[in-house]
Amino acid sequence: MIRGIGGPVAAEVLTLCDRAEVLLRDDETGDHAQVLAQRAIVLIEFGRIAESAELASRALQLAEASEDPDALLLALHARHDALAGPDDIVERLAVAERAGQLGLAGEPTALTWRSGPICGASRTTCSLGGWTRSPGTSDLSSISSTRWAG
């Protein structure tokens, strides 16, 4: 499964997700949740935020029902990324908290998402776990799963 991939390969990843969606359309599995979540993440690259948010919600529902921790983590990642506006900060923090709980349960990359919403809310230089990020910057010590929330 391709996870959290966007950037220069976004169009190719979107094509792969479309193909997988055709095969999994009627499945209610963790695999289907991961495909929907990945598609949601990639759609953000194309500015299709509303569509991304809808897919991320569906992915999260499927992932929760499947009880697949990998699917749940990717669906949380997708939902987190789709909540990019300033009005989304409360839900974004809640999603980050859930991901953090998964991180404490053995998924360490989930812990990095907690810093994005905190930095976005504070609008000041922010430090969490030794990583520092200033307002308006787009990376957090090369941790690609955290996006600027401002």
pLDDT digit string, tens, across residues 60-70? 999 999 999 88
Q: Global pTM?
A: 0.68
Question: Which tens digit of pLDDT belongs to each residue from 75-128?
Answer: 999 999 998 788 888 988 888 888 877 766 665 555 555 545 444 544 333 333
**How far, in Å, are 29, 76, 111 from residue 41 at the CA level?**
19, 10, 18
* 75 in Cβ contact with 98 (< 8 Å): no
Measured in residues, the chain has a length of 150
* 140 in Cβ contact with 146 (< 8 Å): yes
> What is the C-alpha separation between 44 and 28, in angstroms, rounded?
24
Helix (H) or strand (E) holding 56: helix 49-66
